[in-house]
Chains A and B, each alone.
Chain A
């Protein structure tokens, strides 16, 4: 059973461009979470999605950021008009059930660098 997959692993964008980060959860997992990690800092919750639904987006900036998890295909985290402060590692995790009582499996992350 393949693990959580994220692509690209590294992404370089210039200020003002768009960044699209993809996450394919483990087979059978319908719950997906996105986290942002700045260098030498902890994991900041951004958004929790279940197939076709956003369950909790309380950690996501209200402007420029959006996330989706369509019925078919990977989950997408989209950042429009990127700024230097968006440079970070973005991790996706998945689980077969809501996270409170179950392990989350993390992907390898996408390192976003904004020039």
Chain B
């Protein structure tokens, strides 16, 4: 069974940093590109980032470019999102999803940026 489990969310002050993790199981993690998508509670989905199987290619939404970094450790079957210079507008539930059309999603981890 495919499982994606996000962790690392929490309360952080504006300007602070946080690293999210997404633990994958039930499939060959190294064989899939992976995405991060976020959703402000009660609002719509917003695409954040994508990373190639070996980490050699990444893409970012303009709103996070230069502040967020996606990476992966295929030996640990884990996807990461390093978030720096956090702003109030980054407050959201962050989901990881498997490429192949975002066919599998985790349950999300809530990030709250507030003083």
User: Are A and B physically bound partners?
Assistant: no
- Please report B residues at the A interface, Cβ cutoff 8 Å: none
